[in-house]
Structure 1
Amino acid sequence: MPASAEQLLAPATDFVQSQLKANAMDASHDWDHVLRVRNMAKKLAAEEGLDASTIAVIDLAATLHDVQDYKYSGSATATAISVKAFLTEQEAPDDLIERVLSIISSVGFKDELGRQAGHDLSPEQACVQDADRLDAIGAIGIARCFTFGGHFRRKLYDPQIPPRLNLTKEQYMATKDQATTINHFPEKLLKLKGMMKTASGRRIAEGRHACMEQFLEQFYAEYDCRA
């Protein structure tokens, strides 16, 4: 009998945990990150007034959103292929598979760079996207940023390398071209507050954005020996 979103959550959890362990991903994209995104997506969905069945789909999609992430797998299609194969094996209904894949395809910053202006998201897409972006900013976002930069052996900062403020999708996906960790703030992280889709996401993003601004002010002051 085809499985529901609620029934799929436990096997999806096991699947994702095994995938992350096998891929030896760094702590910026580990199970704790997935769990935070799951919990935040459900929190946003509840505050946005979505019903229980929609929240169950959001929970499932958030659980699966980072499987075979292109930043580690090197493939922009690996996530969709892997998630579809898993859900098909679990006998998920076709409409549920399409909903989950649609949500996951809308999460990434790179995907929004490649979209036409004015692209609208469904409420379930918006909740998972905002949840993932909220985990990229604030105190946890700062920690994840430097963890990720360390994994890819990036310099902390080089004042001679200016940030690329108008990134294309192709430039963003060229991971090796992202030269310093600090540049990731103006290139992406400081933009996320203005890209939130839900009212609750925008509210939470305000405080997390301010945290990053304070951190950067202190970082530059210390770098220049002004503090």
Structure 2
Amino acid sequence: MAKSEAARNAEKLVQSAMKGYDASHDAAHVFRVRDVALSLAREEGLSSSPDSMEIVELAALLHDIGDYKYMRDPSEEKIVEEFLENEGIEENKRMKILNIIKGMGFKDELGGLASGNYSLEFGVVQDADRLDAIGAIGIARCFTFGGSRKRVLHDPNIQPRSDLSKEQYMNRDEQTTVNHFHEKLLKLKNLMKTKAGQRRAEKRHKFMEEFLKEFYEEWDGKA
């Protein structure tokens, strides 16, 4: 599938708007999510619809611009909307892209905003983003983000929070990097929306479980 001009311009926007983000949420993350989302879309039968594939690609490319974790100015919330308008993306397609981006976060699922009435385009983009949060890449990203926020690596005296609310998740004070596996990452396999996403999540999930088993044994001096 030939890359659209809007997609090429979105790539440039990603590189400029996300410059300076730490490596857990940089342009490379976005481009991986885009590639996986398009791959999942093909597995789910969306490749026969050029409109659907463009919605998937643009939503995946633009999904982290204006992320609350990195927001420097409230005006950044409008960057994606203005970009799509300037690119001449028709309103119906534009709204689908924006709805995917606004609803795909883990915090929104905790906040009860997610529902079973999601489009297949939404499912493949969200699954692709979540696949990049687990497995080997997910482990690397988790520790990169924790290090960028000067978070404690692990403290056996700080237990993972159960039954997290949206507010608790967004407020990560006094949490450790390893607890993030239990609070979020290990839950993602069962939250995949597509069959293709579920298949890929299995292997990545097992890799994280094996990593944590080894981590705790080494931490306790048993390995």
Q: Same fold (TM over 0.5)?
A: yes
8 Å CA contact retained: 1:37, 1:62: yes
1:110-130 superposed Cα distances (whole Å, 9 cap, x missing partner): 111112675321100000000
Shift of residue 91, structure 1, vs aligned partner: 2.6
SS of the residue corresponding to residue 158 of structure 1 reads coil
Which of the numbers 166, 171, 186 marks the counterpart of 1:169? 166
Partner of 1:215: 211
Shift of residue 196, structure 1, vs aligned partner: 0.2
Please say which of residues 24-33 and 66-75 is displaced more in the overlay.
66-75
Q: 1:78-227 to 2 correspondence within 5 Å?
A: 80-115=77-112, 118-175=115-172, 177=173, 179-227=175-223
Partner of 2:11: 13
Amino acid at match of 1:113: L
Amino acid at match of 1:66: D
Shift of residue 209, structure 1, vs aligned partner: 0.2
1:64-103 superposed Cα distances (whole Å, 9 cap, x missing partner): 000021111178x766522101112223222122011011
Partner of 1:40: 36
Find the aligned partners of 2:156 and 2:166 in 1 and give their Cα distance.
Answer: 24
Amino acid at match of 1:148: F
Q: 1:116 to 1:102 in 2, by over 3 A?
A: closer
Find the aligned partners of 1:57 and 1:79 in 2 and give their Cα distance.
Answer: 21
Find the aligned partners of 1:49 and 1:91 in 2 and give their Cα distance.
Answer: 26
Find the aligned partners of 1:80 and 1:205 in 2 and give their Cα distance.
Answer: 30
Find the aligned partners of 1:224 and 1:188 in 2 and give their Cα distance.
Answer: 23
Find the aligned partners of 2:12 and 2:114 in 1 and give their Cα distance.
Answer: 37
Amino acid at match of 2:8: A
Find the aligned partners of 2:76 and 2:109 in 1 and give their Cα distance.
Answer: 16
Gap regions ≥5 residues in structure 1:
none
Amino acid at match of 2:190: G
Amino acid at match of 2:55: V
Partner of 2:66: 68
Calculate percent identity across the aligned residue pairs. Answer: 53
Find the aligned partners of 2:183 and 2:141 in 1 and give their Cα distance.
Answer: 15
SS of the residue corresponding to residue 70 of structure 2 reads helix
Q: 1:15 to 1:129 in 2, by over 3 A?
A: same
Q: Matched residue pairs, number?
A: 219
Gap regions ≥5 residues in structure 2:
none
Find the aligned partners of 2:184 and 2:129 in 1 and give their Cα distance.
Answer: 13
8 Å CA contact retained: 2:103, 2:113: no
Shift of residue 59, structure 1, vs aligned partner: 0.5
